[in-house]
Structure 1
Amino acid sequence: MAFSLRSRVFHHVWLWIVCVLFTVDAFYVPGYSIQSYKKDDNIPLLVNKIYSDNTQLQYAYFELPFVCPATGKRHHDSKWTSGHSLSLNLGEVLRGDRIKNSDFEVNMGQDVDCAYLCSKVVDGHDIKWAQQLIEDGYITEWILDNLPGATSFVTVDRKRKYYAAGFKLGYKDYDMVTGKPAYYLYNHFTMVIRWRKAPGSAGENGNRVVTGFEVYPKSVNGGSRNETGCSDNLDERQDPLLLNIRPNNTDLAQQYPDSSYVPEVKVDLNQISTKIPYTYSVYFREEHEIEWANRWDLYFSDQTESTSTHWLAIVNSIIISTILGAVCIIIWVRTTSGDTRVRGDGLLEDARFAIRKRVDNKSSGLLEKEGAVSAEDEVPDDELVDDVTSWKLLHADVFRPPPFAGLLAPIIGSGSQLVFMIASLLALSCLGVVNPSWRGGFVTIGIFTFFFAGGLSGYLSARIYRTFGGTDYRVNTLTTALLFPGLLFSLMFFLNLFTWAQSSSTAIPFTTLLALAFLLMIVQLPLVYVGSYYGFYRTAPYSHPTRTSSTPRHIPKEPLNAAWYTRNHLLLSILSGLVPFAVLFIELMFVFKSLYLDKSSYYYVFGFLSIITLLLAITIGETVIITLYIQLCAENYHWWWTSFLTGGSSAFWIFVYLNWYYWTTLHIGGLISSLLFFSYGLLACLVYGLATGTIGFLCGYAFMRKIYSGVKVD
C-alpha cells in the first residue's frame, strides 16, 4: 500500500514537472523579460569588445587607444554613467566580454541626423596598432537591448535579409600612387533601430520594443565640419579617414621629379599626431514583420539552408549505428547460444591445446597423408576453434583488477561528471533555457553543473575503486576531486600568462581564477567527499558473476600470421575511434564554423546535436562491445583500459581533424593565437575523450557482466 502511494505521488510530481517544462516559452526561459520603452526613454548602448576570425586575441573596446574614452556622463533617465562596467556572469568573463555603458545618446523614437562624440588625438604607435587590427579583420561588438549591433545583408535573390553580429573596425585598400596598403578607420556610425508595439497591454499604453539593431559604419575625413563637429554634407560621398604613418607621397615625388622610385623615409612614430573625429546618427524605423520573440532569427543566416545537411548527418549516424547493432546482435547470439558450461579443472584448456596441436599438424603437413586423419582427429573449423578457445576460458581472470586501477577509478568518476554536464547542457539548450540571448549562459551553466555533479563523480569513483580492491578511499577522493579540475586550472593559468602579456580581454582576470579555485574547494571537494563516503562505506562493491582465481592466467602470444587486430589491441582501439568520429563528423563542421571560422554567427541547432549525441553514445557502446569481443577471442582479459580507450579514441581523430582544419581552412596568424588555438582545442578533445571514454567503459562493463552471468563453472 505504501509502495503504491509513493508511486502515485512520484507520478503526479513528474507529470507536473513535465507540464511546466512544456508550457514555458522555449526561447526566453532564463528570466530575460521583455523590455519595453516609452517614447523618448533612454536605451543604453553598451560597448563590449573587438574580436577577429583570424586570431584568438580579443580586446576590450574602451581599452583601444584610438576610440573615444568614457566621460562619466549620465544620460537622460539612465541609471548608469558612461564607462560603468556591467556585472558579468562567469561565462561572460571567461569568453572575454568587457561590457560598459557608452556616451552614445539613444532615446526611443528620437532620430538624430548627426551627433558629435569626440575627437581623439593619437600618435604613430596607436595608428600602427589600429592598422594591424584592421589588417587582422577585427569586428566591433556593441549591444543595445541585449541585441548585438549587426551588419545587414540581403540574399542574392533579394528576398531575405539576414544579420551578421558586429561590424568591422575599418577596411584596407591600396594607395593609387605607391600601390602600398592603405588603412581606413570607421569613425561615423549610422544606427538603425527597428521597433514595434509592445505585446499586450503595454503596447496599448504606447510602449515599444526593439526588434533589430543595425550599424552602418563609414569612414569620414576630418576636413570641413560645422560648429557641432559633424561633417558637412554627410550624405554625400566624402574622402575616407586615412590612417597614415608615412610622409606625404606628393612632397617626396616633388623632391625626386625625374625618378620612378620614391625612397622610404624613416619615420619617428612619436612625432606623428593625428586627430580622429567621431560622430554618429540614429534612426528609428517601425518593423511590422518581425515579432519580438523572433528577433534573433535574422542572426541565424544559414538555418534554412543547412537543415537538410543536419538531417543527412542524422541519417548517416543511423546507418552506421544500425550496421554496428547488427554485428552486436550476432555477437550476442553467439555468446548466449549453445553450451555455456565450462570446467574449472582444466579440461577445457586441455581440449584447446589438443585442437591447436591438430591445427598445427595440419598446417605442417603431418595429417595430409591419405588415411592419416581419423574421425576424432578431424581438424575443426574456425568457428569451433573460436567457440572452444575464446572468451569462456577467461572466466576466472576477466574481472581481475586492471593495472593502475587507482587511476582508472578517478578518471571514470571525472568522466561521469562531464557526461552529466554535457547531457544537462543539451537538455537545457533544447528547452531554450540556454540560448544566445543569455550571453555566457552556456559556459556558466556548464561550470556549475560540473561542480554540482561532484557527488555522482565521488560515488561512482569510490564504488569502482572498492570493486578493484582499493582500501584508501581518501586518496581516491582527492584524486577524483582534483585530477581533472587541477589539470584544467593549470593549463588555463599557463595560457593566461601569454594573454596577460598581450593585454587581451581573452585573459581570465586573476580574481576570476581565485573564484574558480574557491568553487573547487567549497563545492567540488565536499560533494566528491560525500559521494565517495557513501559509495565506499554505504554501498557494497559491484558483484561479479564469476570468481577470480588467485593466479593470473598466461596470455598466449598470437602467431605472426594471426590477424593484426588480435595482435595489437591499442592500435585496434585507436582505429575503432574512426567509427564514432564518422557519426560526429558532419555536425562537427558546423560547430567548428561557429567557433573558429565565423565567430559572429551562433550555433543554434541543439536539437540536431542532441540527436547526434544520442546516436554517438549508442555507436560508442556498440564499438566497444565489438572491440572487447575481438580481444576476448584472442584470450586477452585486460579489457578494462581497452573499453575506456576505445570509447574515447574518437577524440584523437577529432584533434587530427582540428589540425587539418587549422592548416587548410583557418587563417589564424601569430604564435600566441596558434598556441591558444591548439591548447584549447586539445583541452576540448580531452573533455570529449573523458566523457566518451566513460560511456565506453560503462557499456563494456555491462557487456562483460551480462555475457559471463550465463557462464556456469563446474
Structure 2
Amino acid sequence: MAPRSAGPAMLPALLALAVLLPAVGAAPGGGARGLKGASNHRYAEGDRIEMFANKVGPYYNPSETYQYYSFAFCPPPSDKRVFKPEDLGEVLEGDRLVTTKYEIQFLVDIPEQELCQKDLSDADVAKFRKAVKEDYYYQMYFDDLPIWGLFGRPETTPGTKYYLYTHTHFDIAYNGDRVIGVNVSTDPNKAVDITSVGHVTLPFTYSVKWHQTELTFDRRLEKYSKYSVVPEHLEIHWFSIINSCVTVLLLTGFLATILMRVLKNDFMKYTKDDEMGDDQEESGWKYLHGDVFRFPRPLSLFCAMLGTGTQILVIAIFIFVLAVFDVFYPYNRGALLTACVVLYALTSGISGYVAASWYKTMGGTSWVPNIILTCALFLGPLLCLFSFLNTVAIAYGSTQALPFGTICVIIVIWALVTFPLTVIGGIAGKNSKSEFHAPCRTTKYPREIPPLPWYRQTLAQMAMAGFLPFSAIYIELYYIFSSIWGHKLYVIWSILSIVFVILVIVTAFITVALTYFQLAVEDHRWWWRSFLCGGSTGAFIFVYCFYFYFQRSTMSGFMQTSFFFGYMGVVCYAFFLMLGSVGFRASLMFVRHIYRAIKCE
C-alpha cells in the first residue's frame, strides 16, 4: 500500500470518488431523472407504492437484456416516465428501473382492472412472438423486492403455438406497515394466441391481493434462498472443501517428506563437498548460486505484473471480508460490482508501490515507463474489450451498453483516483529504501543451461502447476458460473473464502516444488517460470469456460458469446496475475532459504 506520507495527496482523489459514485446513474431513452430512492419501507393504508419495471431478456442469455418499454407494453405518459437513480454497480449490471402505470396502494385489494388497451402492430406482434419463442422474462421491483414473470408460453402440440399473457396478478404479503413479500402470477385463461395474428388490439389487465404474514421485515429476503445454490447442493460444497483440504494435506505431506528429505541430503552432500575441497564435479542447484539471483528480463514488465497481481490479491481479500460480513446480501443490486470498482480505484497505489519498489530494487532506472505500464497492464486490455463489447451492446440495443454519462464518470474516476494513486504509489516505491537481500553474489556472465527434456519446459510445467490448484476449485466453479451467468444466487461466501485460501496455499506449494525441480537440473531461469506456473490456473479456468458454455449452459447468440468469453477472459487474466504473484513470492522465499543454508563462494 502507499506509504503514510502520501496520505494528504490522496485526499482529493478520495473525496472525488466519494462525490462521484452516488451520482452515477442512467437516464436512457430520454427519460427524466430525480425520482427519490427507497423510502423507509413504512406505509399507511392507501399509500401508493411505486412498481418499477427493470429489464427484459431471453432467460438463457443473462447478458442480453433490454429496456422494459422496448416492447409494446403499457407505458406511462412520457412526462410521467421517470427513471430511478442508480448506483454504478446497478448500471454496470444493466439495470434500468423506470416507473409503470400500475396503481398499487398499501392494503388496497384491486380486482381485475384494465391497465391499458394496447394497439399492437404487425411488428409488435412479431416481436412478442419471438420473445415467447425464446423464453423472454421481465423483471420488476416492488418496494425493492424483485419479481419476475414470463412473457408467455409456447405449446408444441398440436403444432407450435405461442400465447402471450395479458393478465398479471400480484399477491402481496404485509406485516404491520411494511411489505414483506410479493409474488406475480398469470391467468392462463387470458393468454392470447399470437401464433399467426398480425395487427391486433389487446387489453392488458392486472389485479392485486394483500394478505397478512407473520414473517418479519428483517427476514423478508430469506425466501430468495430457494433461488440460491445452497439448499439442495450444500453437501456437494462440503465435499468440495474436503476434497480440497485432502489435496492440500497431500501436497503438504509431499513437501514435508520428499522435498525436505531431498534438501537435507543436498545440504549434507554440499557440506561434504566443501570439506573435501574443490575437486568435486559441480552439479545440482548449489552451483547456480552465481545465477539464481540474476534479475529477470524484461524487468519493467515483470515488476508491473507483480505489482498488478499484488493489487488484485488485496482486492480479492477485501471482497471476501465484505462478503463474510454479509455486505452482498441477496439482491443488493450492484453491490459487488460497485465494491470491485471502488476497491480497484482505492488500491491502485499498491500496484504502483510494489512495481516501482521492485523495479528500483532490481536496478531499473526508467521508472516513468514502468508506472505507465503498471497503469495499463490490466486496464488496457479491459478498456479494449469494453469498447468492443459496448459497441456490440449498442448494436443490439441492450441495457448492457453503458450510457455516455456513466462512461464519463468512470473516466473521471480513473483520472482523479486510479491514475493519481498509482503514480503516488510509484513515487513512494521509487523513493523507498528497500534493498534486495541475496545470500549469494551474482556472477557477471550467466551459466550455460544444459539441454532439458520436454517435460522440463515452461509449458509442460505450467500444465502441471495449474492442474492441482484447478482441481481444488473445480467443483465450486460450476456454482459460481451458474450464479454469474444464470439466475441462481451464490450466498455461501464462507465456503468460497475457504476455497480461495486453499487455492492460494496449493498454488504456493506446487510452485515451490516445481522451482526446486527446475533448479535441480541447473536451470536458473526461475523468476518468470515461477510467475507463469503460479498463474497457469487462470488458463485452466479459461479452458473450463469453453466446457461450461458448450456443455453445461444453454447460452447462445453473438452478443452472449462475446460477453461470456470476453469478460471471463478478463477474469482469468486477473487470476493469472494474482496467482502468479503468489507463486513468485513463495518461490522467492524458498530460494532465499535454501541458498542461505549453504556455503557459497
Q: TM-score, normalised by structure 1?
A: 0.75
* Matching residue of 1:291: 216
**Residue identity matched to 1:555:** I
1:50 and 1:507 map into 2 onto residues whose CA distance is 14
Indicate the SS of the match to 1:283: strand
* Matching residue of 1:543: 437
* Matching residue of 1:602: 489
1:340 deviates by: 8.0
1:392 and 1:533 map into 2 onto residues whose CA distance is 37
Indicate the SS of the match to 1:447: helix
More contact order relative to length (CA 8 Å, sep ≥ 6): 2
What pairs with 1:616-635 in structure 2 (closer than 5 Å)?
A: 616-635=503-522
Partner of residue 134 from structure 1, selected from 128, 132, 137:
132
1:332 deviates by: 3.5
The change in CA–CA distance for 1:589 and 1:476 in structure 2 (over 3 A counts) is same
**Residue identity matched to 1:335:** L
1:59 and 1:661 map into 2 onto residues whose CA distance is 21
Aligned residues: 561
Contact 1:47 1:142 in 2 (8 A): yes
1:348 deviates by: 8.2
Matched, 1:484 2:378: yes
Structure 1 or 2: more helix by fraction: 2
Indicate the SS of the match to 2:593: helix
Deviates further, 474-483 or 688-697: 688-697
Matched, 1:300 2:225: yes
The change in CA–CA distance for 1:654 and 1:327 in structure 2 (over 3 A counts) is same
1:349 and 1:694 map into 2 onto residues whose CA distance is 38
What pairs with 1:326-365 in structure 2 (closer than 5 Å)?
A: 326-330=253-257, 331-335=259-263, 338-339=267-268, 351-352=280-281
**Residue identity matched to 1:603:** Y
Contact 2:167 2:205 in 1 (8 A): yes
2:118 and 2:575 map into 1 onto residues whose CA distance is 47
Matched, 1:46 2:44: no
**Residue identity matched to 2:113:** A
Matched, 1:436 2:330: yes
Indicate the SS of the match to 1:712: coil
Deviates further, 166-175 or 546-555: 166-175
1:348 and 1:215 map into 2 onto residues whose CA distance is 86
Indicate the SS of the match to 1:352: coil
1:34 deviates by: 5.7
1:327 and 1:33 map into 2 onto residues whose CA distance is 58
Partner of residue 243 from structure 1, selected from 181, 194, 199:
194
Cα displacement string for residues 48-100 of structure 1 (whole angstroms, at most 9, x for unaligned residues) = 00133422543344332321112258xxxxxxxx4211111111111111011
* Matching residue of 2:113: 115
* Matching residue of 1:364: none
* Matching residue of 1:499: 393
**Residue identity matched to 1:565:** Y
Partner of residue 213 from structure 1, selected from 138, 160, 182:
182
Partner of residue 175 from structure 2, selected from 196, 206, 216:
196
Partner of residue 577 from structure 2, selected from 660, 683, 690:
690
Partner of residue 575 from structure 1, selected from 450, 460, 464:
464
Q: Which runs of 5+ in 2 are unaligned?
A: 1-36
2:101 and 2:480 map into 1 onto residues whose CA distance is 36
Sequence identity percentage: 29
1:661 deviates by: 1.4
Matched, 1:101 2:99: yes
* Matching residue of 1:261: none
Contact 1:185 1:241 in 2 (8 A): yes
Partner of residue 428 from structure 2, selected from 534, 548, 553:
534
**Residue identity matched to 2:563:** L
Partner of residue 482 from structure 2, selected from 572, 577, 593:
593
Indicate the SS of the match to 1:116: strand
Matched, 1:322 2:260: no
1:336 and 1:32 map into 2 onto residues whose CA distance is 66
1:144 and 1:43 map into 2 onto residues whose CA distance is 7
* Matching residue of 1:172: 154
1:336 deviates by: 5.3
Q: Which runs of 5+ in 1 are unaligned?
A: 1-30, 74-81, 150-165, 198-207, 220-237, 247-271, 354-388
1:50 and 1:543 map into 2 onto residues whose CA distance is 59
2:447 and 2:543 map into 1 onto residues whose CA distance is 38
* Matching residue of 2:239: 312
Matched, 1:713 2:600: yes
What pairs with 1:179-190 in structure 2 (closer than 5 Å)?
A: 179=159, 181-190=160-169
The change in CA–CA distance for 1:171 and 1:440 in structure 2 (over 3 A counts) is same
Cα displacement string for residues 20-57 of structure 1 (whole angstroms, at most 9, x for unaligned residues) = xxxxxxxxxxx989622222222211110013342254
1:655 deviates by: 1.5
Contact 2:58 2:65 in 1 (8 A): no
2:151 and 2:362 map into 1 onto residues whose CA distance is 59
**Residue identity matched to 2:394:** W
* Matching residue of 2:498: 611
Matched, 1:565 2:444: no
Matched, 1:67 2:73: yes
The change in CA–CA distance for 1:126 and 1:570 in structure 2 (over 3 A counts) is same
2:359 and 2:152 map into 1 onto residues whose CA distance is 59
Contact 1:646 1:696 in 2 (8 A): yes
1:487 deviates by: 1.3
2:417 and 2:495 map into 1 onto residues whose CA distance is 33
The change in CA–CA distance for 1:104 and 1:624 in structure 2 (over 3 A counts) is same
* Matching residue of 1:470: 364
Matched, 1:446 2:349: no
2:343 and 2:490 map into 1 onto residues whose CA distance is 21
1:325 and 1:663 map into 2 onto residues whose CA distance is 36
Contact 1:458 1:530 in 2 (8 A): yes
* Matching residue of 2:313: 419
Contact 2:146 2:331 in 1 (8 A): no
The change in CA–CA distance for 1:342 and 1:556 in structure 2 (over 3 A counts) is farther
1:513 and 1:340 map into 2 onto residues whose CA distance is 63
2:591 and 2:152 map into 1 onto residues whose CA distance is 62
1:438 deviates by: 2.1
1:136 and 1:698 map into 2 onto residues whose CA distance is 50
The change in CA–CA distance for 1:292 and 1:131 in structure 2 (over 3 A counts) is same
Indicate the SS of the match to 1:483: helix
* Matching residue of 2:300: 406
* Matching residue of 1:258: none
* Matching residue of 1:17: none
Indicate the RMSD between aligned Cα atoms, in angstroms: 2.3
2:357 and 2:39 map into 1 onto residues whose CA distance is 45
**Residue identity matched to 1:124:** D
**Residue identity matched to 1:43:** I
Cα displacement string for residues 565-613 of structure 1 (whole angstroms, at most 9, x for unaligned residues) = 33x23211123201001111111111111122x32x2111111100110
Contact 2:353 2:427 in 1 (8 A): yes
1:530 and 1:313 map into 2 onto residues whose CA distance is 42
Matched, 1:393 2:287: yes
Indicate the SS of the match to 1:277: strand
Contact 1:340 1:392 in 2 (8 A): no
Matched, 1:663 2:550: yes
Indicate the SS of the match to 2:120: strand
**Residue identity matched to 1:581:** F
Contact 2:273 2:280 in 1 (8 A): no
Larger Rg: 1
